[in-house]
Amino acid sequence: MALVNEHFLKLSNNYLFADIAKKVNAFKVSKPDKKVISLGIGDVTRPLCPAVIEAMHKAVDEMSSSASFRGYGPERGYDFLREAIIKNDYAPRGIHLDPSEIFVNDGAKSDTGNIQEIVRWDNSIGVTDPIYPVYIDSNVMIGRAGVMDETGKWSNVTYFPCTAENNFIPQLPDHRVDMIYLCYPNNPTGTVLSKEELRKWVNYAIRNDAIIFYDAAYEAYIQDPDIPHSIYEIKGARKVAIEFRSYSKTAGFTGVRCGYTVIPKELTAITIDGSQRVELNHIWDRRQSTKFNGTSYISQRAAEAIYTPEGKQQIRETIDYYMRNARLMRSTLSKLGYKVYGGENAPYLWVKTPDNQPSWKFFEKMLYSLGVVCTPGVGFGPSGEGYFRLTAFGNHEDVAEAMDRITRL
């Protein structure tokens, strides 16, 4: 008989944002006349910029002619996009990459969830806490995380708490960890790491022959010139780090689906008998060739367009739009006495619940009393209890109205 992968049974019944959507939809049914303002789920609201739309129209027209039609594309991505990525995202920061080290995907979520396949199931893992749920859930599915205890922690996961008490800076573990997940600017807290702090993690990985999975999906929102945009700005990182980037929040591609992963040739892992070091670039290439048919030509042409002079200006305007929302929310909530973190170099605000209310209780209060949707912090891990997350991806009018409702409350 066929046996189920019982590791899936260890997961909660629903993904965090599915639980939120269920509660919000139920509220909408019960209060059909109440306008609901969502500042919870990190979907964007601004339309695609003109440069992207023009590129997509052109690509669609190409698909209508047998002379310019594209079928299956290269699994790694088209050269035109990979070369644009290197020229615009890395070369200006003194980072030298080869196109063969770039893997274009259908968004960072897929690769951050799938990347754990290329290392053994019994590698130990470490995560910042709170954390984007995909990192842990994907490891639960393969059996790497162990079992969950009554506090919500997994037995085989090392947690690096990020709280107000340590200024949301994760501390190095006192033991060896094989796989380390870092996300900066951070989702959900909206906080960042300095080069000095990031260098500590790179050096730790070098000393312990570990791998860092570095999610830089929100780097375009960094405002402080001293904050690193890429882990490869740190010497030695090419030997120990895989970096993930996304166009979802940078260019509004949540519905277009495109991003990329960087795996340097220097990055290796060892076989269990210690006899061989294997390039993970090659392993991932083999995995993608088997399980992924490549990102659509239309999406890749759209992504290429954001690197044109017009595209860069238009994307910057969109990012500035969202960051104005972040400043409004941060200013309003701070004046009301809330303890607010993030929102300065990231589109997320991490806010302490009043009177130490549990996260889900405060979520329900915001929804049922105000019609405003936030994300309960505990959904991102044990250290998220007593916090809630807001996103800056709404339109100005809705964000202003939401702040007005909270002020009245």
Window from 24-33, 61-70, 203-212, 367-376 with minimum mean pLDDT: 24-33
Q: What is the pLDDT of residue 14?
A: 75
State whether 111 and 177 are in the same domain. yes
Q: Which of 285, 309, 333 is the last residue of a domain?
A: 309
**At how many degrees (to 10) do helices 50-63 and 297-305 cross?**
150
- 295 and 351, same domain (yes or no): no
Buried b (16+ CB within 10 A) or exposed e, 390-407: bbbbbeeebbbbbbebbe
Are 266 and 298 contained in the same domain? Answer: yes
Whole-number Å distance between alpha carbons of 131 and 383: 9
Quick one: pLDDT at residue 375? 95
Assess whether 80 and 222 both reside in one domain.
Answer: yes
Q: Which two tokens stand for residue 302?
A: 């759209």
Angle, alpha carbons 369-13-120 (nearest 5°): 130
Range of the structural domain that residue 380 is part of: 6-47+310-408
Q: How confident is the model at residue 174 (pLDDT cuts 50, 70, 90)?
A: very high
Where residue 13 falls among pLDDT bands split at 50, 70, 90? confident
Distance in angstroms between the alpha carbons of the first and the last residue of the chain: 57
Q: Are residues 293 and 191 in the same domain?
A: yes
Tell me whether residue 146 is in a domain: yes
- Taking the C-alpha atoms of residue 194 and residue 10, their distance in angstroms, rounded to an integer, is 36
Q: Do residue 128 and residue 191 come from a single domain?
A: yes
Q: Residue 19 and residue 293: Cα distance in Å, rounded?
A: 31
Q: What is the mean pLDDT of residues 391-409?
A: 95
The structural domain count of the chain equals 2
Does one domain contain both 158 and 189? yes
Averaged pLDDT, 126-132:
97
Q: Which residue has the higher pLDDT, 42 or 403?
A: 403
Q: Tens of pLDDT along 190-228?
A: 999 999 999 999 999 999 999 999 999 999 999 999 999
**pLDDT for 118:** 97
235 and 348 co-located in one domain: no
Alpha helices in 9-132 (DSSP H): 16-30, 50-63, 79-85, 108-114
Looking at the structure, do residues 140 and 274 belong to the same domain, yes or no? yes
> Cis omega before residue 50 (within 30°)?
no
Examine residue 1 and state whether it is found in any structural domain, yes or no. no
* Domain harbouring 184, CATH code: 3.40.640.10
Tokens of 335: 């004046």
Q: What is the mean pLDDT of the chain?
A: 96
Above 80 in pLDDT, residue 35?
yes
pTM over 0.85: yes
Distance from C-alpha of 255 to C-alpha of 252, rounded to nearest angstrom? 8
Has residue 70 been placed in a domain?
A: yes
- The model's confidence at residue 12, banded by pLDDT at 50, 70 and 90, is confident
Q: Is residue 104 part of a domain?
A: yes
pLDDT digits (tens, 9 = 90+) for 274-322: 999 999 999 999 999 999 999 999 999 999 999 999 999 999 999 999 9
Contact 388, 358 (CB under 8 A): no
My answer on whether 352 and 271 are in the same domain is: no
Rounded to whole angstroms, how far apart are CA atoms 343 and 390? 9
| Cis geometry, peptide bond prior to residue 185 (ω within 30 degrees of 0) | yes
Could you give the count of Cα atoms lying within 13 Å of 158 in the half-sphere of its Cβ?
17
pLDDT at 301: 98
Query: Last residue of a domain, which of 309, 332, 351?
Result: 309
Looking at the structure, tell me whether residues 169 and 213 fall in a common domain.
yes
Q: What is the pLDDT of residue 15?
A: 76
Look at residues 249, 283, 309 and tell me which one is the last residue of a structural domain: 309
Residues 43 and 96 in one domain: no
Write the CATH number for 321.
3.90.1150.10
Q: Residue 273: inside a domain, yes or no?
A: yes
Is residue 367 a contact partner of residue 373, using CB atoms and an 8 Å limit?
A: yes
